[in-house]
Homo-oligomer: A and B are copies of this chain.
Amino acid sequence: MKLSARNALKGKVESLHRGTVTTTLKVATGGGDLITSSITNEAADELALKVGDQVTAIIKSSDVIIGK
């Protein structure tokens, strides 16, 4: 499934921290960046996420703020 979101960065789950409501994960992208995502625990369970998984970090271009 192709997505309209302009950013789809492939990477590997480096760490997973499960809170009471949301799970925060760090994804080491192929490019070498570390992207932090917070998703619902329901989503983390449904995707059966674990460290080492190959995932895609999806970000809309309008959600990227630029600082200079």
* List of B residues within 8 angstroms of A55 by Cβ: 66-68
The interface on chain A, measured as residues whose beta carbon lies within 8 A of the other chain's beta carbons, has a size of 51
Q: How far is the CA of A29 from the CA of B42 in the complex (A)?
A: 21
Residue of B nearest to A41 (CB): B19
Contact assessment for A40 and B38 in the assembled complex, using a CB-CB cutoff below 8 Å: yes
Q: Which of A44-68 contact B (CB under 8 A)?
A: 44, 46-49, 53-68
Listed in ascending order, the chain A residues whose CB lies under 8 Å from chain B are 1-9, 19-22, 24-25, 27, 29-40, 42-44, 46-49, 53-68
Supply 17 A–B pairs (Cβ within 8 Å), ascending by A. A1-B56, A1-B68, A3-B66, A4-B40, A20-B21, A29-B33, A31-B34, A36-B61, A36-B64, A37-B66, A38-B62, A55-B66, A55-B68, A56-B66, A57-B66, A59-B63, A65-B65
